[in-house]
A and B are shown apart, each in its own frame.
Chain A
């Protein structure tokens, strides 16, 4: 090659460039979002869930009828132009009832899941962080609780507190936190042996700093994933309770209760069962897929 001689002037090393990082900086959560947004199923689910949420808010306002007003002139009307989702045996607009039911189901799902997460995070965190006898005591207690059939537990609570949204949330959360506590404890135990925790201890970090700066931020991923799994579980639990008749009482409604009523007329008016059943299934599916996507996005092994 022919290269001019002055190009051979000595310039030496370039310290700045030698340490340069050329890739652009991404925080952990940005990185997670990048991977999540690449997951088609998770993104479809997210869109579905957002639409569902919007419809739960505006849906009932789109028709002149109300979810709890009987119209005995128009009972059991099939879905069509007049009545988008048809009407039930008391002539109530199913369209309105489905969205009102969505509000109830989603609210219960979220609240129950959040409550059980908070309880599980605190108790599991304490067990994992302090370890020793306290940990053993808490874990044995959880073992005993888990061995009690969950339905007995829920029915007991419902008997004591009566039916309604609040007792259902409490009943679901009080049984759901057990798994969460186990999970969090396992995470904390594992993290406690990580070098960065030892490094913080060695710097003289106190318990509060360890918990809030080091342990919780690093368990958050796992917790969020199990939260997204807990929501559909809670929705399903509510649907099940309402379906067997110990959940939400009319005229208030939920998807489970709609399905229960639809069951009774299933052979004559199948749409009354089909519509709430489809909503329950699709929502469960969407939440599961989104949860899966989130787990993959958070998995540090895929991180590069």
Chain B
């Protein structure tokens, strides 16, 4: 976090709805965040939480209709791109921001050689000569760890394995050195040993090229490994944001508590039952009046059912939206904090702080 103040992307109160036969699905009900230069911001949430819609909304990939931008502003390097039309976005995509998806096969053209697909963006956004483009393609393939790049550039996507395709996608995305890379579940379709390779690659690229990354994922393990800052989303809204330590060791929102408690660990042997979150996320056609999580929340209070809590700050960059931290609820909060420890390995964190 060297360039602390330079914001690559700012999103302000973005709201997106989908008009369906059954009514308006409020997929995103207001999200604000920014991404600083070189930073990895993870958006975590379950399906339907709006994390993918957020990223597609920023990239203007949602078909309108049924999608509808209700409010909000999106700024890329300070420039408002909210009202950009398709042509203007086309120019930005690839050059300033790029996206990779869960399934690389659907975003690669099956009838075009991989090398040409990487070159396409370069042709569009730069005026490099043919030779220069070719050498850049080889350089990119080498950078993403594809062996024998000269030969591989002349092959078709179906000749690549899943992990290799994702590497190709990353090469395409990074061809024009974008400021921002949005990675939507980039490793979800891959096996763990391949996931490890791709994560390592993304980490390396982030460090070497300084590209900021928005990492959309449901896997908190991946988040713990990769993210600088984390946004936890639920039912179309962020419920908690903070850095790794805030979210994993000092979470404030019961949904974050629930998520962390629901995870088994591969590195420890805890045989106690998982703390599951009962129920199902609300249908965003008729979002609840109060807190969207209240119906599934063990600690719900009357107020939660009636008023939607606002985001409160608990430390630098650490915010959460929950009534439990309201002064009027202090008694109850103290009670439960005494009984439980939320977050993972709370004691380890304490040691670390004391030691460091």
Contact = CB atoms under 8 A, between A and B. Distances in A.
A9 B278 contact: no
Interface string B273-309: 0000011101101100000001111111111111100
A18 B298 contact: no
A102 B202 CA distance: 69
A13 B283 contact: no
A304 B303 contact: no
A5 interface: yes
Interface residues of B, number: 30
Interface string A8-19: 111111110111
Contact of A14 (B286, B299, B300): B300
B301 A9 contact: yes
Contacts, number: 70
Interface size class, chain A? 20 to 34
Nearest to B282: A22
A12 B302 CA distance: 9
B301 A13 contact: no
B197 interface: no
A81 interface: no
Given A21-B283, A22-B285, A34-B21, A15 B303 contact: no
A15 B328 CA distance: 26
B350 interface: no
Given A13-B278, A13-B296, A22 B286 contact: yes
Interface string B170-181: 000000000000
Of the listed residues B300, B303, B323, the one surrounded by the most CB atoms of chain A closer than 10 A to its CB is: B303
B332 interface: yes
B301 A15 contact: no
15 contacts: A7-B301, A7-B302, A7-B306, A7-B328, A9-B301, A10-B301, A11-B300, A13-B278, A13-B297, A17-B295, A18-B278, A19-B279, A22-B282, A38-B21, A304-B20
Interface of B: 20-22, 278-280, 282-283, 285-286, 294-307, 310, 323, 326, 328-329, 332
Interface of A: 1, 3, 5-15, 17-23, 34-35, 38, 304
